[in-house]
């Protein structure tokens, strides 16, 4: 499978990882803890497979950026977090950075 697709899925899994970490309420909700651990391992496995073809600096930056922007967007849409213009602006800057890394990596 294309390593960029795997990296994208790993990044999306990181969003789920972060959200289940929040909903585990300090690892006190057993179901959320189990889901968190499964998604965490899944995300890391996909990242490690993508690293066979994508340089680590690029892959790690893209993986964390997908997770960070995704969690920020979910937080704004569903968790009542601020959606101030400046916050959206900087999320867009991160997304532009991801696109730039994709197109400048052989």
Residues 8-53 have pLDDT tens digits of 999 999 999 999 999 999 999 999 999 999 999 999 999 999 999 9
Structure tokens at 72: 């920020």
Residue 105 is predicted with a pLDDT of 81
Number of domains, the chain: 1
pTM of the model: 0.90
User: What confidence tens digit (pLDDT) does each residue in 84-100 have?
Assistant: 999 999 999 999 999 99
Are the beta carbons of 35 and 20 closer than 8 angstroms? Answer: yes
User: What confidence tens digit (pLDDT) does each residue in 44-81 have?
Assistant: 999 999 999 999 999 999 999 999 999 999 999 999 99
* Alpha carbon distance 36, 48 (integer Å): 18
Domain range spanning residue 94?
Answer: 3-104
């Amino acid at each position: 499978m294309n390593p960029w697709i795997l990296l994208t899925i790993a990044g999306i899994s990181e969003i789920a990882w972060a959200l289940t970490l929040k909903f585990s309420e300090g690892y006190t909700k057993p179901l959320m803890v189990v889901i968190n651990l499964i998604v965490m391992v899944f995300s890391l496995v996909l990242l490690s497979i993508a690293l066979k073809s994508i340089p680590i600096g690029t892959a790690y930056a893209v993986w964390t950026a997908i997770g960070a922007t995704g969690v920020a967007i979910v937080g704004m849409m569903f968790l009542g977090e601020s959606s101030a213009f400046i916050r959206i602006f900087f999320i867009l800057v991160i997304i532009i950075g991801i696109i730039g890394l994709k197109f400048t990596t052989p």
